[in-house]
Structure 1
C-alpha cells in the first residue's frame, strides 16, 4: 500500500500513457488492416504483391527491432521521430499486418453467391465491397480483432525501451529507487490485467451489439 501511495503519480502517468499508446496504435493498425487486407484481394497483381511484401516483412521481423529501427536508425537517414510516434507506428504497423489477414479471411468467407448477386445488379467493385461484402464480414472480424487488441496492449510494453514512461517503465523506475522487484512488477501485472479485461468487455459488447442488429449469434473474443 505504501508503494502505491508513494508512487501513485508515476503509476497513473504510466497507465494513461499505456492506454493512449494502445488506442492510437489500434487506430493505425485498424486502418492498415483494411488497406492491406483489401489490397490482398485486388485484381491487380502489383497491388497484391506490394501488400504481400508489407505483410511478410512486418510479420516476419521482430516488433522490437522495428521499433528500434524507427527510433534509432531513421534519424541517421534524416528522419527523426518522437518516442511516442516511433512507438505507435511500430506497434500499429506490426499488428496491422496480422489484422490484414483477419480482414482478408473474413471477406473471403462471405458466400460466393453474395458477390455474384452484386455482379448481377451491376455493382461496381467499390459498391460490392461497401454494401455487400464488408458489412457481412465485419461481425466475423470482431472476435479476432479483439484478441489482436489485447496483444497490442501488451506490445506497448516494448516502448519503455525507447524512453517512454509507460507502465513497464514506471515499474523499472520504482525498482531502481526502492530495490524492490516483486511489488512493482506484481502491481503493473494487475493493472495490465485490468486494462485487458476492459478491452475484452468492450469487444464482447461490440460483437453482441452488431450481432443483435443483424440477428446473428455473437462469438466471444476470449
Structure 2
C-alpha cells in the first residue's frame, strides 16, 4: 500500500483521464452506432450499402491500428490532432461500427407481424417507429450496448500507446520506477473491474427502467 499512497495523485490523474476518455468515446460511439445502424437498415440500397461498407471496414480494423493511423499517419498529410481527440475518435469509430451492426441486426429481427399490423391499421411510418419500434429496440439494445461499453472501457487502455496519461500509462510509469509492481497491478485490475461494474449496474438499471416503461405502455 505504500507505493499506492506515494503515487496516489499520479494514479488519480490517470483514473480521471481513463474515465473522461471512456465517457467521451461512449457518447460518440452511441451516436455513430445509431447513425450507421439506422442507415444500414434503410430500404434504399444506395443508403444501406455504403453504411454497411463503413461498418465492415471500421469493424474489421483493430482499434489500435485506428489509433495509430490517426496519431502517427495523419501528421504526414499535414493533419495534426491532439492525443485526446485521436483516442476518442479512434475508439469511437471501431466500437461505433460494432454498435452499428448490433442496431442493424436488431432492426432486421424486429417482428414482421407488427410491421404488417401497422400497415393494416394505416399507421404512419414515423409514428410506428417512434411509438412501437423504438421502445422495444431500447429494451433489446440496452444490454448489448452495455457489453459494448465495457469492451470500450477495456480498450481505452490502448490510448496509453499514443502518449495519453491514462490509468494504464501511469501504472506502467510507476512500475518502471518501482521494482515491486504487484500492488500497482492489483490496483489496476481492481480499478478497471470497478469501472466496468459501474457500467454494468447502470445498464441493468436502465434496462429495467426501459422494460418497465414499455410494459406500462403495453
Instruction: Identify whether the pair has TM-score above 0.5, normalized to the shorter chain.
Output: yes
TM-score of the superposed pair, with normalisation by structure 2: 0.93
The alignment yields a C-alpha RMSD, in angstroms, of: 1.6
Q: Report the 3-state secondary structure (helix = DSSP H, G, I; strand = E; otherwise coil) of the residue aligned with 2:143.
A: helix
The Cα shift of 1:116 comes to 2.4
The Cα shift of 1:74 comes to 0.9
Q: Deviations over 1:104-127 (max 9, x none)?
A: 222223211222233345445444
**Runs (5+) with no aligned partner, structure 2:** none
2: CA distance, partners of 1:163 / 1:194: 24
Query: 1:71, 1:81 within 8 Å by CA — same for their partners in 2?
Result: yes
Task: State the aligned residue count.
Answer: 216
Aligned to 2:108: 108
Q: Deviations over 1:86-109 (max 9, x none)?
A: 001111111111111221222223
2: CA distance, partners of 1:85 / 1:91: 10
2: CA distance, partners of 1:125 / 1:162: 46
1: CA distance, partners of 2:85 / 2:214: 38
Aligned to 2:72: 72
2:65 is the counterpart of 1:48: no
Bigger shift: 156-165 or 103-112? Answer: 103-112
Q: Deviations over 1:116-172 (max 9, x none)?
A: 233345445444323322222110001111111110000100000000111100111
2: CA distance, partners of 1:125 / 1:165: 48
**Runs (5+) with no aligned partner, structure 1:** 217-222
Query: 1:106, 1:138 within 8 Å by CA — same for their partners in 2?
Result: no
Query: 1:118, 1:132 within 8 Å by CA — same for their partners in 2?
Result: no
TM-score of the superposed pair, with normalisation by structure 1: 0.91
Q: Report the 3-state secondary structure (helix = DSSP H, G, I; strand = E; otherwise coil) of the residue aligned with 1:39.
A: helix
Aligned to 1:20: 20
Q: Report the 3-state secondary structure (helix = DSSP H, G, I; strand = E; otherwise coil) of the residue aligned with 1:164.
A: coil
